[in-house]
Amino acid sequence: MSALEDLVGRTYGPFTLEAGADRVAEFADVTGDDPGRWQEHAPPLFANAALFAVAPAFLDDPAVVPFTTSLIHTEQVFRWRRALGVGERLRVSGTVAGVRARGALNLVTFRLSAGSGAGDWLEGEAVFLMSDVAAAEAADVAEPAVGERPAVDPPAPKTALPGEGEPIAALRCGASRLDLVRYAGVTRDWNPIHWDHESARAAGLPGIIVHGLLMAAWLGRGAGRYASGPDAISSMTLRFRKPLRPGDGATVIGNVAAVTPDGADLELILESGGDRLVTGRARVTR
């Protein structure tokens, strides 16, 4: 039995998260979105900031720290109840919902909820693969220049939804090392594997890697082009498969899995060099 199993049911928070205009605009900009689109409401994937309003309290819990020697965010589910207004002051809580131990490995489900006086906004579950045993070391790879970013596509206006079974338009994405620091600043996701080479090496990585939830935000941009209104996405399920290095390009691709009277379900993939980095499914509203 893992010591983490004793934490099931433990709650962290509530913590306060303010969706201020400057922070929302910075989030939109650093994820490649159009800040002008998000002046009254926050992008749905501002949910990333909500997760990291509470996740550090869990990860810094003295009972948890020994199991962060190796830490991988493997899956994420978000469910939105409504659009989030700019200026709202959220209360964010998290709960250890489940632990499955497999030898030295532990799959931990961490449940998230966020809302304000205007009502519930967000629910979600993150799955972390955690261990007190260090991951196998990868070959050391030099970091790119601080500002080196691949070719990326600019924000796109709302686009007509393709027919069921048809592909969505590709969206080129990527980030520089500077972008990762900016993203960490706006979301408070300060895991050093995203900005410090030696910390990434100690975690068994070849060098620093792009935040998984930044890649999720790119998938959100890919889906959001086919939705109207601030409540563009009502749910999103993600699986993180492989990391991406800063300076390397990636592309959001996918297809329309199903069309419903009020929207559509999209199958989404973030790929790079033929590898699937993140896969997911999003339900968009029309």
> Who's near 41: CB < 8 A, 6+ residues apart?
83, 84, 85, 86, 230
Residue 32 has pLDDT above 70, yes or no: yes
Kindly report whether the peptide bond that precedes residue 14 is cis, defined as omega within 30 degrees of 0.
yes
Q: What digits encode the pLDDT tens for the residues 188-223?
A: 999 999 999 999 998 889 999 999 999 999 999 999
Question: Domain with 145 in it: what CATH number?
Answer: 3.10.129.10
pLDDT at 157: 82
Instruction: Give me the torsion for CA of 64, 279, 193, 100, rounded to 10°.
Output: 20
Residue 41 has pLDDT above 70, yes or no: yes
Cα-Cα-Cα-Cα dihedral sign, residues 81, 86, 88, 94? positive
Query: Considering the entire predicted model, what is its pTM?
Result: 0.96
Q: What digits encode the pLDDT tens for the residues 220-229?
A: 999 999 987 7
pLDDT at 232: 82
Mean pLDDT of the region 70-99: 97
In the chain, the number of structural domains is 1
pLDDT at 158: 84
Q: What digits encode the pLDDT tens for the residues 139-159?
A: 999 999 999 999 999 998 888
pLDDT at 206: 95
pLDDT at 1: 55
CB 82 within 8 A of CB 46: no
Tokens 């919902």 map to which residue? 97
Among left, alpha and beta (phi > 0; psi -120 to 50; other), residue 251 is: beta
Residue 8 has pLDDT above 90, yes or no: yes
pLDDT at 261: 86
Domain that residue 124 falls in = 3-285
* CA 282 distance to own-chain centroid: 13
User: How sure is the predictor about 231, in pLDDT bands with cuts at 50, 70 and 90?
Assistant: confident
Cα-Cα-Cα-Cα dihedral sign, residues 122, 127, 133, 136? negative
Mean pLDDT of the region 65-89: 96
Q: What digits encode the pLDDT tens for the residues 103-140?
A: 889 999 999 999 999 999 999 999 999 999 888 888 99
